[in-house]
Amino acid sequence: MSDVTFPSRVSVREVGPRDGLQNEDPISTDAKVELIDALGRTGVRRIEALSFVHPKAIPQMADADEVWEKVTRDPGIRYSALVPNLRGAERALAAGFTELEVVVSASDTHNQRNINRTTEESLAQLPSLVSAVHEAGGTLQLIVSTAWGCPYEGDVPVDRVLWVVSRGLSAGVDSLVYGDTTGMATPPRVTRLVGATRSSHPDVALGLHFHNTRGTGLANVYAALELGIDDFDASVGGLGGCPYAPGASGNIATEELVYLLEDMGIDTGIDLRAMIGVAQLAEQLVGRKLDSQVLRAGPAVR
Amino acid sequence: MSDVTFPSRVSVREVGPRDGLQNEDPISTDAKVELIDALGRTGVRRIEALSFVHPKAIPQMADADEVWEKVTRDPGIRYSALVPNLRGAERALAAGFTELEVVVSASDTHNQRNINRTTEESLAQLPSLVSAVHEAGGTLQLIVSTAWGCPYEGDVPVDRVLWVVSRGLSAGVDSLVYGDTTGMATPPRVTRLVGATRSSHPDVALGLHFHNTRGTGLANVYAALELGIDDFDASVGGLGGCPYAPGASGNIATEELVYLLEDMGIDTGIDLRAMIGVAQLAEQLVGRKLDSQVLRAGPAVR
């Protein structure tokens, strides 16, 4: 609506090197380093670089320490790492990360199939995880996955998501991200969940992580911008796809997000053409055609 | 925003058989008939079936009369045809069509390259075209293409679009559609142009025709729904692609539009699973993978 005030700046977190590559066939250590370094030259200020998980669970991240040693770290960029548990957090902290993330699914069935625990069991480990991270001077973000729906259970009630959030905030997590794990969010669902969250927790730092699995990715971003959300995840080239629907899209593509925001006059600090260049690189590195419209079509006027 | 009232119903016009197939390699007459007939069983109530153009200009539509003879016409469906000029209108009327459309590009360069006339020259033929159609008891819709941008000229000023609209309405056209010919629309541009149109012409029947060439298709639909627009074009499977960017998306996919509207509780009369089935058929008929997320991923819960 014309009477809405949009944010003047948006903070984009590039998740291609972690969330993206975790859902692609494994690529070499050097290729991962090349991708992170190339992203570092686009102007993006936050990169989810790695996850510290058991190599048997996620072989794509088995060389996390080596990748991190080789990356040309830009002091102007905040790099973060995903950790599944205390052991992972210790590895991430030892490697020098200070921004850590942990994922808990709002849907029990999804949490069980993803990490073989109930949501309650995952939540129960949060206090000790927060303590360990805070003692080391770091921050821990809670990513609530299946926040807008679960591929096994269908709708996930807003109250269930808010219950996970309350437990996380009680445990002391520093910020929150809602993940649309399989692309079930639509604008009214975004408005409903963000509104309810603001009512219960007006001051929480909230980012949104959308997938484009059913084409609604940027529509959801637009609805969130209308609500003043200024923190979004995206994956260069849409790297990663959707593990639940082979051939379908996963994360929204960073260059599509930047294209939309730039046209709206919203600053991201990211150079669109440079990001399209990295999307082209990402296609070469993973050896498949990525699902990004802006990658195919380019900026509006050639 | 939560205080917006969305339309309770949306009228979807399926443009795959015309706009879609016109931008694919030619398929057989029987295949075209099969597509139109299959669409007729999805619950869609409007189908842009054909265009009556010179076969040398658009060989894909050379068999328009034969297709139309073979189609199983459903009396509950409004079929329309695109015509480039008086000769085309006469053919369409003779074939029994009563809903006709004519395209004029707001951008001179695009109009020149598309039909070898200036925008002014195209507008000048409208009064005689309208007269001929009205005398035969039909209606003529003006589709203003490049309404949100031109691949050659870049931005197209709102005033330029409104000038085309004024000329069309003076000539007596019955309704209006804005076409985002190469996917340059974004939500603020939609809000701006629709708002300006409403101010100048509060009562005009206005439909919108979006492309997803840069991923913003459904975001634009959502912004338009917030403004109360309840009339959209879409192409099953995203049939047609983008003639200006090979490999890129063209029209928004009907099943993606229906998925969004259905999740918003907005009635279209269309059965989503049936439309996904026709998208699968369309892929077979044109022999290439179509660019539709909902076609790949299916409805939210399997």
**Neighbour tally for B44: CB within 10 Å:** 27
Mean pLDDT of chain A: 95
Domain segments of chain B: what residues? 11-297
Asked if residue A135 has pLDDT above 60, the reply is: yes
**Shortest CB distance from B260 goes to which of A219, A248, A256?**
A219
**Shortest CB distance from B296 goes to which of A184, A192, A247?**
A247
The span from the CA of A18 to the CA of A213, in Å, is 18
**For B5-32, how does the pLDDT look when each residue is reduced to its tens digit (9 = 90+)?**
999 999 999 999 999 999 999 999 999 9
Selected catalytic residue, list A12, A242, A253, A276: A242
**For B20-69, how does the pLDDT look when each residue is reduced to its tens digit (9 = 90+)?**
999 999 999 999 999 999 999 999 999 999 999 999 989 999 999 999 99
CB–CB contact A183 B293 (8 Å): yes
Asked if residue A1 has pLDDT above 60, the reply is: no
Asked if residue B302 has pLDDT above 70, the reply is: no
B245, B214 contact by CB (below 8 A): no
CB–CB contact B218 A221 (8 Å): no
**For A250-279, how does the pLDDT look when each residue is reduced to its tens digit (9 = 90+)?**
999 999 999 999 999 999 999 999 999 999
Which residues are within 8 A (CB) of B94 and not within 5 positions of it... i.e. 6 or more apart?
Answer: none
CB–CB contact B300 A182 (8 Å): yes
The span from the CA of B149 to the CA of A300, in Å, is 8
CB–CB contact A215 B242 (8 Å): no
B115, B122 contact by CB (below 8 A): yes
**CA-based R_g, chain B, Å:** 18
What pLDDT is attached to residue A301?
65
Q: Please, which pLDDT band fits residue B300 given cuts at 50, 70 and 90?
A: confident
What pLDDT is attached to residue B298?
87
Q: Please, which pLDDT band fits residue B227 given cuts at 50, 70 and 90?
A: very high
Asked if residue A245 has pLDDT above 90, the reply is: no
Give the distance from residue A135's alpha carbon to the nearest chain B alpha carbon, in angstroms.
41
Give the distance from residue B168's alpha carbon to the nearest chain A alpha carbon, in angstroms.
27
Asked if residue B2 has pLDDT above 60, the reply is: no
Percent of chain B with pLDDT over 90: 91
Q: Please, which pLDDT band fits residue A248 given cuts at 50, 70 and 90?
A: confident
Closest CA to B21 of B70, B78, B79, B61: B61
3-class secondary structure, B155: coil
CB–CB contact A297 B263 (8 Å): no
Q: Which residues of A224-246 are buried (b: 16+ CB within 10 A; e: fewer)?
A: bbbbebbbbbbbbbbbbbbebbe
Mean pLDDT of chain B: 95
What pLDDT is attached to residue A242?
82
Percent of chain A with pLDDT over 70: 98
Q: Where are the beta strands (DSSP E) in chain A?
A: 11-14, 46-51, 78-82, 99-105, 139-145, 175-179, 206-209, 231-234
What pLDDT is attached to residue B65?
95
**Shortest CB distance from A248 goes to which of B188, B253, B296?**
B296
What is the CATH architecture of A11-297?
Alpha-Beta Barrel (3.20)
